[in-house]
Amino acid sequence: MGSIPELQPEITLSPATQLEPFKVLVVGGSYGGLSAALNLQDLCHGLPPRCGEKPAEGEHLGGPQFAVDITIVNERDGFYHVIGSPLALASEAFAEKAWVKYDEIPGLRSPNIRVLQGTVQSVDLEQKVATYLAHGSTAPPSELRYDYLVAATGLRRVWPVVPQSLRRKQFLFEAGDHIRAATTAKHGVVIVGGGAVGIEMAAELKLVHPQLKVTLVHSRDKLLSSESLPDEVKDRSLELLREAQVDVLMSHRLDRTDEVKDDSGNKCLKVHFTNGHTLLADQVSMAVSRSIPSTTYLPSSVVDEEGYVKIQASLSFPSDTPNSDAHFAVGDLVKWSGIKRCGAAMHMGFFAATNVHQQMQRQTAGTEPKLLELDEIPPMIGLAVGKKAVAYWPEGGVTSGEEVMKAFFGDDLGFSICWNHLGLGGDILKAV
């Protein structure tokens, strides 16, 4: 991820044909949605987009300015650093940091940006109107009219992969209860599923609570078995986990868990595996369920049979759907190659913002839009395993160690890297 350039706005005149501010609706306020909203904010102010190429000294990368009203709708009341979940659900101090309410994010403080907490329930592509239900409201859904829409609602993930609370306050209780239950465990915690999420959950728990017995079980003979990554990544991940003192049981498929009493008469769980092996634990966390796209509000013509949005390379909705060049999708919910990653979500948000800005120019000045298009994305990964990380991308090959951890995640599981990349600290808007 690149750093954000120091920006100086260059004044250009808005096209005379724009009578009303453009209305842009961003559904989902996580990595992809915030990137789309804030890169568009830059472009509409004549600034180079924050997630784009850094302009050379004296070079001007901005374009025409437009008045724009950006509405972001999100179910949670703040930006939640999803990547940090394994640590947020192991450390109460980190949980405090991992969720920042939108009204406390300086980068979103601008008269033309508003964030609504609620759920978008439907979208009419032809009329360009969405229905939205405000969080906690008993009133009927209200309508949001828009000129451009960016869908960035990601995947629905189950507990304890991510917290299910929608308000920060409630989340802190949820995380606190979970952490206390895990850390008072005498027999330890079993995490089922050796994909990226299970690996990180096990490693973070052991890192924060070294006295705790943490066991990761996986049904196959390699970790990360459903990812098309080189075996070296999978083997290195196993080595790092064992180095981090996590007990790893490979080729163990969970059969069932029974509530039993231990030798001291205390309640605990007996975990049975299909190979006959059993062990006692106080907590069993499932990290196996498939996450599903949160796209039920979109017409079925836009999504595939699993619910992923069938984007064009420009991130627009399929060309045979109404107003496809006014509708974009970014992040985990798109049907595209590559492992789902937050870096990809932010990158797509930047592309969508650029393409919306191009469409605004077409609409007002009749120019042919120069659209950014996604290439195929090869499998790549950065995985935190306790104090170390393992990383793989085609040009870099496999690397691992503490310096890889530092480069990919800093010292807060990537929170500051993402916060700074998205300019959530607000330095960029202050320049406007």
Ligand X SMILES: Cc1cc2nc3c(=O)[nH]c(=O)nc-3n(C[C@H](O)[C@H](O)[C@H](O)COP(=O)(O)OP(=O)(O)OC[C@H]3O[C@@H](n4cnc5c(N)ncnc54)[C@H](O)[C@@H]3O)c2cc1C
C-alpha distances (whole Å) from 119 to each of 28, 55, 115, 143 are 9, 37, 12, 12
Q: Which two tokens stand for residue 254?
A: 């969970």
The residues in 358-397 that bind ligand X, with binding defined as CB under 6 A, are: 382
Contact between 29 and ligand X per CB under 6 A: yes
The DSSP letter of residue 309 is: B
* Helix/strand/coil for 282: coil
Among 7, 22, 24, 33, binds ligand X (CB under 6 A): 33
Handedness of CA 247, 402, 205, 200 (dihedral sign): negative
Burial class (CB in 10 A: 0-12, 13-18, 19+), 92: middle
Among 10, 69, 75, 174, binds ligand X (CB under 6 A): 75
Quick one: which segment of 92-100, 259-267, 338-346, 394-402 binds ligand X (CB under 6 A)? 338-346
Task: State the minimum distance, in angstroms, from the CB of residue 381 to ligand X.
Answer: 7
Bridging pattern class, strands 113-124 and 397-401: unpaired
Calculate ∠ Cα 373-379-383, nearest 5°. Answer: 120
Among 86, 160, 293, 423, binds ligand X (CB under 6 A): 86
Query: What number of chain residues touch ligand X (CB under 6 A)?
Result: 36
Calculate ∠ Cα 323-344-219, nearest 5°. Answer: 115
C-alpha distances (whole Å) from 388 to each of 184, 357, 382 are 26, 40, 11
d(CA 214, CA 235) in angstroms, rounded, equals 19
* Helix/strand/coil for 84: helix
Pick the closer one to ligand X by CB: 405 or 428: 405
Pick the closer one to ligand X by CB: 73 or 303: 73
Quick one: which segment of 69-77, 208-216, 242-250, 267-275 binds ligand X (CB under 6 A)? 69-77
Contact between 405 and ligand X per CB under 6 A: no
Bridging pattern class, strands 129-134 and 22-27: unpaired
The residues in 162-221 that bind ligand X, with binding defined as CB under 6 A, are: 162, 197, 200
Among 45, 50, 76, 178, binds ligand X (CB under 6 A): 76
The residues in 117-156 that bind ligand X, with binding defined as CB under 6 A, are: 119-120, 152-155
Contact between 160 and ligand X per CB under 6 A: no
Among 108, 191, 205, 342, binds ligand X (CB under 6 A): 342
Among 65, 71, 85, 283, binds ligand X (CB under 6 A): 85
Task: State the minimum distance, in angstroms, from the CB of residue 385 to ligand X.
Answer: 11
Pick the closer one to ligand X by CB: 279 or 334: 334
Per the rule left: phi > 0, alpha: psi between -120 and 50, beta: everything else, 351 is alpha
Task: State the minimum distance, in angstroms, from the CB of residue 205 to ligand X.
Answer: 12
Pick the closer one to ligand X by CB: 65 or 85: 85
Pick the closer one to ligand X by CB: 7 or 34: 34
d(CA 8, CA 432) in angstroms, rounded, equals 8
Handedness of CA 414, 417, 423, 424 (dihedral sign): positive
d(CA 387, CA 243) in angstroms, rounded, equals 10
Site string for ligand X, 246-285 (x = CB under 6 A): ----------------------------------------
Contact between 343 and ligand X per CB under 6 A: yes
d(CA 48, CA 2) in angstroms, rounded, equals 14
Task: State the minimum distance, in angstroms, from the CB of residue 38 to ligand X.
Answer: 13
Task: Assess contact for 185 and 283: CB atoms under 8 A.
Answer: yes
Site string for ligand X, 284-323 (x = CB under 6 A): ----------x--x--------------------------
Among 74, 91, 285, 358, binds ligand X (CB under 6 A): 74
Burial class (CB in 10 A: 0-12, 13-18, 19+), 168: buried
Contact between 422 and ligand X per CB under 6 A: no
Pick the closer one to ligand X by CB: 37 or 279: 37
Among 45, 50, 128, 157, binds ligand X (CB under 6 A): 157
Task: Please report the DSSP string for 313-362 in residue order.
Answer: TTSBPPTTSTTGGGEEE-GGGB--SS---HHHHHHHHHHHHHHHHHHHHH
The neighbour count for residue 67, using CB atoms within 10 Å, is: 12
Task: State the minimum distance, in angstroms, from the CB of residue 18 to ligand X.
Answer: 28
Among 331, 336, 398, 400, binds ligand X (CB under 6 A): 331
Contact between 39 and ligand X per CB under 6 A: no
Residues near ligand X, by CB under 6 A: 27-33, 73-76, 82-83, 85-86, 119-120, 152-155, 157, 161-162, 197, 200, 294, 297, 331-332, 340-343, 345, 382
